[in-house]
Structure 1
Amino acid sequence: MKTTLSVMLLGLALATGSPATHAAQEVGISPWGPQDEIGRLNLMTADSQAAVLARLAGGKSYDLSVEYHIGMPSWQAAGDPHYRIWMTHTPHGNVVADPLGLGQAMNEHVSYTGAAISMYTHMGTHIDALGHFGLDGRIWNGFDARTHLGDRGWTVAGAEKIPPIIARGVLIDVAASRNVDMLPDGYRVTREDLRAALAHQQTRLEPGDVVLIRTGRMRHYDDAEAYMANPPGMGMEAARFLVEESGAMVVGADNLSFESFPSEIEGNYVPLHTYLLAQTGTPIIELAYLEDLARDRVYEFAFIGGSLKLRGSDAAPLRPIAIPLR
């Protein structure tokens, strides 16, 4: 993980801009009203959901999530915990401890297994809630941390507010359009990369899409150190193209952190996260498994996903599926 930490520290070193640089970036105020907590997810309506479901081709579906396991890739540079799973009950252990007072005969007859997990909220396939990053102590829609962030999380814009997502999904396979299996370490995806990939696929974007970018990094998922070391990611102009020019509702990729490092913006070490979450209200999906879609060249699909309703949390695990459209 040393390479990842070095990249992060380099980004932090660039985050030393003048006060004017900081002042130029402000949180977005929602066009959906002062109580809005879900940002661009408001673009999803009953009509838009019905329209995409009416186009289902049926048959094969694609699982866009990764497995959680000890040793999986995870963000460690800021001291966040690894994924852990441990057994709370095993058949033999119950015979010995008899935690329910059932007696040896019952415990030998009925085999009871239980487990517990501990993890950082930004592990595995997950969606960032709008409170994940902010600017000057405020998040999307001007909600202030001093008022809305307590010991048990955010009282606004938490992960529990994220609705089930049913929308048109689009895969942009940047790696394939550049004729490589995986983009090089540290590669910064540009606006022109996205436009070229869409032209190569003969795919167009529509307002309200869930847009997922394939860098090919998922090929390293079983090697956590290789996966995390200096990954490719999105540049600022690429993010602006997706949101401002194309109208994406949600954006995501197969890497962790979505954006590339070091930062392109003086005074901000994670400018894409603050631009997407705090300034435009755009949720981010990370660690999406896109290899099967890419193999079968499925570029347009119904995206259906529900995240865990973790009250007050800044992110939640997501189990999305993709179903091709007619």
Structure 2
Amino acid sequence: MDTFWPGLGANWGRWGDEDERGALNLAGPERVRAAAGGVRTGRAISLTRPLRNGLPAYYPRAGDTAFEHQMITWWGSNAGGDVQAASDRLTSECHGLEITHMDALSHIGHRGRGYGGRDFASMTGPDGAARCDITAAVPVVTRAVLADIPRLRGVEHLPAGTAVGHDELAAAAPGLGPGDALIVRTGRWSAPAPAPAPDSGDRYGHLSGLHPDALRFVADRDAAVVGTDGPGDAFPVAVDDCRLPVHVLALVYLGVHLVHSMALDELADALAAEGRDDFMLVIGPLAVPGGTGSPVTPVAVL
């Protein structure tokens, strides 16, 4: 991976030795005002996918369930008296291929180190993340730029396994600035993706995403957060010595939070109709102390 990131240095210590927010420090009040100033129509678009019962975490295998919705009370279970109620319990994974979610900086380590050069073994444990948990990312409000790669290429969706790199991002999102969110559309949800063989042990198959050198664009522009409609990394990955190079470069070295499996098709069409690529992005992760991530419902405001 040193081919794409020689020395692997980046943002460690940039915001102080105790920093846990990473590049989100760049998305301060000035970027919130810039985002609000760019709102034109007030149209709000949800960028999340429905959480359906039995949703798989990765490619379907026995017992591999990412989300469960269970009713606790309903009409019939408490029909007596003058007031009835319905309530439910939600059980969810915080990561995987299907759930729209945000990664905390504590989600990934590399060669024993986490964000800021911390010992990864001391960052996370059976009681959760002791440093850089998801609460450090609550909330996210900033200006965002959509890099609509299929529209740039003139296709409906990218072929499965396509890796989007620095040059295409620079062409698709020329207006990305410091503290902005880079949101990358591959057209995943309209693209057939070949699944791995059930007995292969491969959890990812062939999915479009980012090439490791895409993180050079992220670093050069000082982006605060990166979101995609896929898993972040393109699979199969482009390097032999790291199984999640985009995760490693973003979370560990740059301190850039990642958002995965976003629903971006409606947003892409709306922005194209208005002749623009920027919007206001609002993300509210669940404030779970010790959490390495959270399901999220990102909202774009145009």
Task: Return the TM-score normalized by structure 2.
Answer: 0.85
Give the conservation status (yes or no) of the 8 Å contact 1:73–1:225.
no
Q: Specify which of 181, 189, 194 is matched with residue 218 of structure 1.
A: 189
Residue number in structure 2 paired with 1:196: 171
Q: What is the one-letter code of the residue matched to 2:208?
A: P
Give the conservation status (yes or no) of the 8 Å contact 2:160–2:191.
no
Question: C-alpha distance in 2, partners of 1:231/1:266?
Answer: 17
Q: Specify which of 36, 39, 54 is matched with residue 37 of structure 2.
A: 54
Q: Does 1:92 align with 2:69?
A: no
Residue number in structure 2 paired with 1:69: 52
Give the conservation status (yes or no) of the 8 Å contact 1:39–1:280.
yes
Give the drift of 1:25.
4.8
Q: What is the one-letter code of the residue matched to 1:140?
A: Y
**1:247-286 equivalence runs, <5 A:** 247-255=222-230, 257-286=231-260
Residue number in structure 1 paired with 2:206: 230
**Which aligned runs of 4 or more in structure 1 are off by greater than 3 angstroms?**
23-28, 76-81, 223-226
Q: Deviations over 1:140-183 (max 9, x none)?
A: 01222333323220111000111311111100100111111111
3-state SS in 2 of match to 1:236: coil
Aligned residues: 287
Q: Does 1:207 align with 2:178?
A: yes
With over 3 angstroms needed to count, the CA separation of the structure-2 counterparts of 1:304 and 1:43, relative to structure 1, is same
3-state SS in 1 of match to 2:176: coil
Q: Deviations over 1:32-52 (max 9, x none)?
A: 001000110010222222232
Task: Return the TM-score normalized by structure 1.
Answer: 0.79
Give the conservation status (yes or no) of the 8 Å contact 2:205–2:235.
no
Give the drift of 1:73.
5.1
Question: C-alpha distance in 2, partners of 1:224/1:164?
Answer: 36
Residue number in structure 2 paired with 1:20: none
3-state SS in 2 of match to 1:194: helix
Give the conservation status (yes or no) of the 8 Å contact 2:149–2:184.
yes
**1:75-86 equivalence runs, <5 A:** 75=58, 81-86=65-70
More helix by share: 1
Question: C-alpha distance in 2, partners of 1:43/1:197?
Answer: 22
Question: C-alpha distance in 2, partners of 1:307/1:224?
Answer: 31
Give the conservation status (yes or no) of the 8 Å contact 1:76–1:82.
no
Question: C-alpha distance in 2, partners of 1:286/1:299?
Answer: 19
Residue number in structure 2 paired with 1:302: 280
With over 3 angstroms needed to count, the CA separation of the structure-2 counterparts of 1:110 and 1:225, relative to structure 1, is farther
3-state SS in 1 of match to 2:76: helix
Q: Does 1:115 align with 2:93?
A: no
RMSD of the TM alignment (CA)?
Answer: 2.9
Question: C-alpha distance in 1, partners of 2:124/2:165?
Answer: 35
Give the conservation status (yes or no) of the 8 Å contact 1:27–1:140.
no
With over 3 angstroms needed to count, the CA separation of the structure-2 counterparts of 1:145 and 1:195, relative to structure 1, is closer
Q: Does 1:314 align with 2:300?
A: no
Q: What is the one-letter code of the residue matched to 2:57?
A: S
Structure 2 gap segments, 5+ residues each: 197-203
Residue number in structure 2 paired with 1:40: 23
3-state SS in 2 of match to 1:141: helix
Q: What is the one-letter code of the residue matched to 1:322?
A: A
Give the drift of 1:270.
0.7
Give the conservation status (yes or no) of the 8 Å contact 1:71–1:224.
no
Q: What is the one-letter code of the residue matched to 1:138?
A: R
Question: C-alpha distance in 2, partners of 1:188/1:34?
Answer: 34
Residue number in structure 2 paired with 1:293: 267
3-state SS in 2 of match to 1:245: helix
Q: What is the one-letter code of the residue matched to 2:186?
A: T
Question: C-alpha distance in 2, partners of 1:27/1:204?
Answer: 22
Structure 1 gap segments, 5+ residues each: 1-14, 18-22, 96-104
Q: What is the one-letter code of the residue matched to 1:45?
A: G
Give the drift of 1:56.
2.1
